[in-house]
Amino acid sequence: MRFSVSIQTADFDLSGETEALRREDTRVGAVCSFVGTVRGSADGVRSMELEHYPGMTEKAIEAMIDEARRRFDIYAARVIHRVGLLRPGEQIVLVAVTSAHRGQSFQACEFLMDYLKTQAPFWKKEETPEGARWVDARASDDAALARWGIAGGNA
Amino acid sequence: MKVTVKYFASIREAIGPGSEAVETAARSCGELRDELLARGGAYAQVLARGKAVRIAKDQVMSDESATLVEGCEVAFFPPVTGG
């Protein structure tokens, strides 16, 4: 399972996941990871409900990993995205990548996050004191993906 | 032909059911969107032209030009906000 995707309600353990990626692979010289968390914003978000498209979400992220493997010299990648009810401070997403040297895993990690933000079917609904609201997609996420030569078409 | 239509997030919330079987004469995802929004009500509101609607055909990001085939699955949803 050098390249794998999990969509789950359960939390994840960063050190356990990265340890699993590099264990028994002596070629690895770099492990790069990103963890996204629920931001406790000034406007009082109490919790967030994450929805996805079962089946498609997994396939979409697997296709992104395939694209990352074509673009970068990486040995392993792990993507975990949580769904369901999450509160400020909780972990939402993990992207972890290994490579021989840092450049490739740094880039692959950022590429996967930029791609995921605009192309993976997830939707966030925030619970605030004024009621629930769907989070709007941001044009800046499309701009981040455009750096890699991919049109986001999101916002 | 018969197709399965799925809705997610704010579009699902407005329409009600998350999935429905639709008998359609549409040949493309865009024509299917036209048929659905012609039903009026919530369909007309959330699938109206000018609304930001993304389309997946058989679980792959697609667009209105995608050709429908018997038994395929078409999903309509707002721009995504993961990560």
pLDDT band at A45 (very low <50, low <70, confident <90, very high): confident
Mean pLDDT in residue range A4-13: 98
Mean pLDDT in residue range A97-108: 98
Reply yes or no on whether the pLDDT at A42 is more than 80: no
Sequence-ordered list of residues with C-beta below 8 angstroms from that of B12, at least 6 positions apart, any chain: B18, B77
Residue B28 inside a domain? The answer is yes
| Structural domain that includes position B49 | 2-77
Tell me whether 0.90 is exceeded by the ipTM.
yes
All structural domains of chain A with their residue ranges: 3-147
Distance of alpha carbon B42 from alpha carbon B23, whole angstroms: 19
Name the pTM for this structure.
0.93
Residue B13 inside a domain? The answer is yes
Tokens standing for residue A70: 């074509």
- pLDDT for residue B59: 97
Q: Which tens digit of pLDDT belongs to each residue from A47-79?
A: 999 999 999 999 999 999 999 999 999 999 999
B10–A154 C-beta distance less than 8 A: no
Per the structure, the count of domains in chain B is 1
What is the number of other CB atoms lying within 10 angstroms of the CB of residue B33? 21
Task: Decide if A78 contacts A98 (C-beta within 8 A).
Answer: no
Residue of A110, A113, A123, A140 best to disrupt the B interface, most CBs of B under 10 A: A123
The answer to whether residue A53 neighbours chain B at the CB level (below 8 Å) is yes
Where does A3-147 sit in CATH, by number?
A: 3.90.1170.40
How long, in residues, is chain A? 155
- pLDDT for residue A47: 93
- pLDDT for residue A140: 86
Which parts of chain B sit beneath pLDDT 50? none
Reply yes or no on whether the pLDDT at A116 is more than 60: yes
B18: CATH: 3.10.20.30
Q: Which residues pair with A127 in a beta bridge?
A: A47, A132
In chain A, which residue's Cα lies nearest the Cα of B74? A56
